[in-house]
Structure 1
């Protein structure tokens, strides 16, 4: 299936990857772990910053593992215990060590730019300050840093990094939990799974994200209105479909529908039928995505208002 890099397609990608990853009202379910949909959306919308943090963690692991003896002698911290909060007590010495090991033309700096490009970070700028911050994180270790194959290929160009990303690959859940002041034990695993999938999604969509083209309005003639009550895949108020002819599904679990009488629902159903028909009649993927995003945003706002 082809995907475009946007929030709606990321939700679809996760659901295609595992049907247990789904939206139900204002909740995103990662298996049995509920995440507020606003948090899920925020993670995606701020993904450039979060993925940049990931690149700096990759760089931090690369420079320390490839200079293990030097680092352990200078900082008295074992590389296998990194990142480590105790380094906050040695920030000055840490930055001096990093400045020595990371000149502009160093292999780790070049690798970082390659990884950033692979992950779609167009405006990435390498920063020793950020690498130092990455090394001071207190949490799971670099053995548990997720490595998509494309990132692993770049890391393999740096010597002695075989110990990075060999375990549970759940390290970044803690980092995201800390970013949003979320209780780690409750959500870290779910956040790690979502983030790892986000990296894969960015790689999959690399080079495909384009500016949306202007919509073309195509209004075919429709004689019958086929409106079905059911559950929509993404939690929207309505969702278009096609089986020999156009139809829509009205989400029976949406609070707006639950609170309407049959008489009140008829004009709404007719209006949404033609909205769905309009969505179905768009030819380009860009146009479809723009209408889909409108449908999801309106549905969410109405859910909040009527819940």
Structure 2
């Protein structure tokens, strides 16, 4: 018996609704922001926090280097705090999490520089680095009541496999011990950086919750169409990962908030591919009144 036109239309609408629901289910209301690296006296309480998003502060940075300003040197996994501890204290972590139940706080490892030079990932051996890292980071995480870690090493004095084993086992151990509930990585489009992070992803992608891809490391003046191509490429590189679009507050690179970033995010949301948004960084956004943070969270909360 031939199906009636009404039946066909009903089936089509039902399928469209299922597809729409499946696409929407891949979107997220996650907003993440790095804070404390530039010592501009920014506090957690300075930022607008929308009740309709999951909000992650990412303290920047903890680095396995000595804290000597003149001659910082690697410590093989013994992490020290390099963020603005005058304004971002354990008591302030507790206060912001108490005031806003939708807030979690993480710390980022590595970063671009330390003292007057690059912050290199430079372990003596996998096992010794891992033992020191688990011990020192667990202490910091417990002292600050933190929820997760982010991996932002950008310079390396070791091979990709060693990086993958050190970082992958670190995340596994901290999760197994109950020290953290989530972990992210923060690569960008550079051959050496990608070789290390993609090796990590291939072996340990299953324990990495978010990919904070630094899309702002692409050239300033990136167009929306270019951004969408970059996003598709990195989603393929980190296949199965929650790749987050990003911008830099001062708009010095990539697709800026005033040049189409939010249009690109709306496109991703319509496709069911908006896994969240992250920003570098609160220190610079303070002088702008956090206007782009407000806009980002409004988009995510819809």
- What is the TM-score when the length of structure 2 is the normalising length? 0.25
- What is the TM-score when the length of structure 1 is the normalising length? 0.24
Higher strand share: 2
Higher helix share: 1
